[in-house]
Amino acid sequence: MEILLSINWILLLASLMVAATPILLAATGELVVEKAGVLNLGVEGMMIFGAIAGFAVGVETQAPLLGFVTAAVAGAALSMLFGFITQVLLSNQVATGLALTLFGLGLSALVGQGYVGIKAPILPDWNVPLLSQIPVVGPILFRHDLVLYFSIALVAATWAFLKYSRAGLILRAVGESHSAAHALGYKVVRIRLLAIAFGGACAGMGGAYISLVRVPQWTEGMTAGAGWIALAIVVFASWKPWRVLLGAYLFGGIAVLQLNLQAAGLKVPVEILSMSPYLITILVLVIISADRSRAALGAPAALGRVFHASE
Amino acid sequence: MIRLEKRPSPSNAWTAATPLLAVALTMIAGGVMFAILGKNPVVAIRTIFWDPIFGEFAWYFRGQLLIKGGPLILIAIGLSFGFRAGIWNIGAEGQYILGAIFGAAAGLAFYPDGGWFVFPLMVVFGGFGGWLWAMIPALLKVRFGTNEILVSLLLVYVAQNVLARAALGWLRNPEGAGFPGSRNLAQWDASSNPELIAGTGMHWGVVVAFLAVIGGYVLLNRHLTGYHIRLAGQAPRAARFAGVSPGRLVIFCMGVSGALAGLAGLFEVTGPAGQISIDFASGYGFTAIIVAFLGRLNPVGILLAGLLMALTYVGGDNASTNLGIPAAAIQLFQGMLLFFLLSVDVLTNYRMRIGRREAA
């Protein structure tokens, strides 16, 4: 009990949002990709490449926001490699996604050699006028950086896009039945490539949030499975944007809580605390999948299938 | 306008030729990468692919080939069964770690008395540890329909934490002056996995890898289970009508791949690595995925692919000491190889047609 009392809960809830943002960005991007019927398992690779690309540009220009833009471009560029091989050369999406992760890890390690041990430029917090002065709620919700606010706005925009816009409807149609969408005259491959690029840009920015804000420095393999957790959160969310937000924040809460418990000196081996986010992600996946009717409800019907127009 | 026309069945000629084409393309792209890094591409490629086999110090490198190739082949053979059937175990790295920990713990329980039975017992526990770790995603998939890709991969991070705990805690050498890491298993006669023929790098793990190649070939081509695996991969619906139980196939494929990965870990910890340490996990479990695909999920192909991938490791070390090419470049090189392989695979399943598509 004393340990729980020694934790500053306001600070914890505020840092929860910071811890969740990389996964929130990446998972939102992947949600759109999967809604278009494509399973890109390369999220981890795109995140880590975004992390180093954003960090390098952020350090060189001392402009963190420029770093985020670069990370988005870098992630999208890397995702186009996946897009070309799966959509034009019709390869297996699972294998190609894995290749993208392995490739991204190698590429980022190579690019990042000169950047180990450097501190990132600080992305300033923007205190929302008036709202940030509210006691308790203010420090938790309204004293963050612009990218964090952007990530929440992105969830809202994705939700509105998929639910209310015509383009969103077409994207979902492509994900449910590519043959039907093709027969209606929609460019399946082009739509999917756009979705993949969007997913890559989001993953890249998520990675940059780790290297520029959360940590903030560059170390090899620093995403440490965040991309895979993002993939799991899309399943957890049953492919619904607001539930992605919920899932990411739940995960962020666990990640921050275990760090706080480590710092507070809980009498449990550090390794057990460090493995807890992964174990809880697995547990959540099991609970969601156990309810088969619900798990199947959200999954796009054409997810992971190869589309060849002549069929 | 080039368009693709689906072949009625995959081309046999291209099935054999695509890995070679992918290797050639990777060498070209790798050469460009080395040139960008400011190295002479021809020298770099020669240092990686030629010198370890035919160069001045080949007597040293040739042994390293089997040491690196053994675990890669062993793990990739296991993975290939599942990959054929559409069951994706990508957490072999975790199963490799757990196999090493289980095996090492079983052996150290008898320290320092020893006995002839210690090493065989460790082998059994090594395979068991890997099997057990693979059963987690397998049973969750069968019972709850949980995605085995995500669970097996997430368990790698859990396994790395278990490894750290073992090296710092319950398996730490009590006579190690407080340094992390277990007792040296390679130097204790009862548990050591020695080089069987001096200078070749051949140890028990390599022997088992070769046996796995033969076993894999027999299973896939001469056994009903192998037929079921191929059927489930090519026509899942037909397989179900033929009475193939998807659940049992998941348990079988995940179990075999987990056990083989565990064995690879055990042979590594008792031989080349020598002890359980924090940095014991070296990424073999992930590289083996590339090996399995490069070998076309075919046991003989995997044998060749494993040796080639071992060559990139050994040659990469050579290039890193002699030319200052960073280790990350080799990792990138291996990733490129898988990309090219998946890209040129289009030639196996589709025919290129030049000309306009006629209106349907």
For residue A21, pLDDT beyond 90: yes
Contacts of B156 in chain A (CB under 8 A): 225
Q: Which residue of A has its CA nearest to B2?
A: A88
The token pair that represents B80 in the structure block = 């290939």
The token pair that represents A100 in the structure block = 């993208």
Contacts of A228 in chain B (CB under 8 A): 150, 153-154
Q: Sign (positive/negative) of CA torsion A303, A306, A307, B1?
A: positive
pLDDT at A205: 94
B188 at A interface, C-beta within 8 A:
no
* Interface probe, candidates A289, A297, A305, A311, chain B, greatest B C-beta count within 10 A: A289
Longest dimension (CA), chain A: 67
In this structure, are residues A151 and A25 in contact, taking their beta carbons and an 8 Å threshold? yes
B293 at A interface, C-beta within 8 A:
yes
Q: Mean per-residue pLDDT for A189-207?
A: 94
Cα dist from B207 to A102, B215, B263, whole Å: 29, 12, 12
pLDDT at A294: 60
Give the integer Cα–Cα distance in Å for A79 and A45: 9
In which band, very low, low, confident or very high, does the pLDDT at A292 lie, cut at 50, 70 and 90? low
Segment A207-221, tens digit of pLDDT: 999 999 888 888 888
Whether B329 sits inside 8 A of A106 (CB atoms) is yes
pLDDT at B358: 54
Mean pLDDT of successive 10-residue stretches along chain B, which has 360 residues? 77 83 89 86 86 80 87 94 90 94 88 82 93 95 89 92 88 77 78 77 86 90 85 83 86 94 93 84 88 89 91 86 83 87 84 65
Q: Which of B322, B260, B318, B266 is nearest to B80 (CA)?
A: B260
Q: Which residue of B has its CA nearest to A269?
A: B165
For residue A127, pLDDT beyond 70: yes
For residue A5, pLDDT beyond 80: no
B350 at A interface, C-beta within 8 A:
yes
pLDDT at A125: 78
SS3 A62: coil
- State how far residue A182 is from chain B, nearest Cα, in angstroms: 13
Which residue, chain included where needed, has tokens 């990132």?
A120
ipTM attached to this prediction? 0.86
Contacts of A94 in chain B (CB under 8 A): 88, 149
Give the integer Cα–Cα distance in Å for A87 and B255: 33
Contacts of B145 in chain A (CB under 8 A): 289-290, 292, 295
pLDDT at B162: 92
Contacts of B140 in chain A (CB under 8 A): 282, 286, 289
B345 at A interface, C-beta within 8 A:
yes
pLDDT at A245: 93
User: DSSP strand E in chain A: where?
Assistant: 125-127, 143-145
In this structure, are residues B294 and B341 in contact, taking their beta carbons and an 8 Å threshold? yes
B355 at A interface, C-beta within 8 A:
no
B332 at A interface, C-beta within 8 A:
yes
Contacts of B349 in chain A (CB under 8 A): 90
* Interface probe, candidates B36, B146, B152, B333, chain A, greatest A C-beta count within 10 A: B146
In which band, very low, low, confident or very high, does the pLDDT at A311 lie, cut at 50, 70 and 90? very low
Segment A29-75, tens digit of pLDDT: 999 999 999 999 999 999 999 999 999 999 888 888 899 999 999 99
- Cα of first residue to Cα of last residue in chain B, in angstroms, is 17
The token pair that represents A29 in the structure block = 């991007």
Whether A229 sits inside 8 A of B333 (CB atoms) is no
pLDDT at A264: 78
Whether A113 sits inside 8 A of B328 (CB atoms) is yes
**Helix B224-234, helix B204-222: angle, nearest 10:** 70
In which band, very low, low, confident or very high, does the pLDDT at A180 lie, cut at 50, 70 and 90? confident
Q: Which of A257, A222, A242 is nearest to A298 (CA)?
A: A242
Whether B144 sits inside 8 A of A286 (CB atoms) is yes
Give the integer Cα–Cα distance in Å for A291 and B143: 11
Give percent of chain A above pLDDT 70: 95
Contacts of B335 in chain A (CB under 8 A): 99, 102-107
pLDDT at B360: 46
SS3 A45: helix
Backbone phi, psi, residue B169, to 5°: -120, -100
